[in-house]
C-alpha cells in the first residue's frame, strides 16, 4: 500500500493544542484517529515520550554536582566490611541522599511526560 504525505498549516498554538490532545501518541496518529481513517492493520503503536529539556537538564546537573554514586558505594562497602558505625550523622546523611535520589526520580518521570506517583 502506497503512503502519501498530507501537509496542512497550523499556528504554533494549534500545533501545541494538537500535541497536548495527542498525549504520548504521535500527532499524526491522533489526527488519523479523529478523522476516523486510522489504519487498523497497524500492529504496533509507537510511543513517543515527551521530554522536558529544562527538567532533564536539572536532573543531569543534580547528578553531575552530586557525589551520590560514590558516597552510596562507600557506604555499601563499609556496611559489607562491618565498618559502618551507626550515628545520627550517618542516618541524616543517608536520609538526605535518599530524598535527593527520590527527587531526581520524580523529576526524570516528569521530564519524560509521565505521571509522578507510587508504583511506577
Task: Please say whether the beta carbons of 68 and 100 come within 8 A.
Answer: yes
Structure pTM?
0.43
Residues in Cβ contact with 55 at an 8 Å cutoff, skipping those fewer than 6 apart: 107, 108, 110, 111
- CB-side neighbour CA atoms (13 Å) of 77: 6
120 residues of the chain, pLDDT tens digit each: 677 888 889 999 999 999 888 888 888 888 888 888 866 555 455 555 566 777 777 777 877 787 777 878 888 888 888 888 888 888 888 888 788 888 887 887 777 777 766 544
Q: What is the reported pLDDT for 73?
A: 82
What number of residues does the chain have?
A: 120
Q: What is the reported pLDDT for 120?
A: 43
Question: What CA–CA distance (Å, rounded) separates 74 from 79?
Answer: 9
Amino acid at each position: 500500500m502506497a503512503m502519501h504525505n498530507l501537509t496542512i498549516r497550523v499556528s504554533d498554538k494549534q500545533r501545541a493544542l494538537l500535541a497536548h490532545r495527542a498525549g504520548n501518541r504521535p500527532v499524526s496518529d491522533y489526527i488519523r484517529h479523529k478523522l476516523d481513517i486510522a489504519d487498523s492493520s497497524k500492529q504496533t503503536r509507537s510511543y513517543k515520550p515527551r521530554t522536558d529539556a529544562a527538567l532533564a537538564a536539572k536532573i543531569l546537573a543534580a547528578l553531575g554536582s552530586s557525589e551520590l554514586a560514590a558516597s552510596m558505594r562507600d557506604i555499601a562497602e563499609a556496611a559489607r566490611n562491618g565498618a559502618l558505625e551507626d550515628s545520627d550523622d550517618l542516618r541524616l546523611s543517608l536520609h538526605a541522599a535518599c530524598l535527593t535520589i527520590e527527587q531526581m526520580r520524580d523529576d526524570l518521570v516528569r521530564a519524560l511526560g509521565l505521571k509522578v506517583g507510587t508504583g511506577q
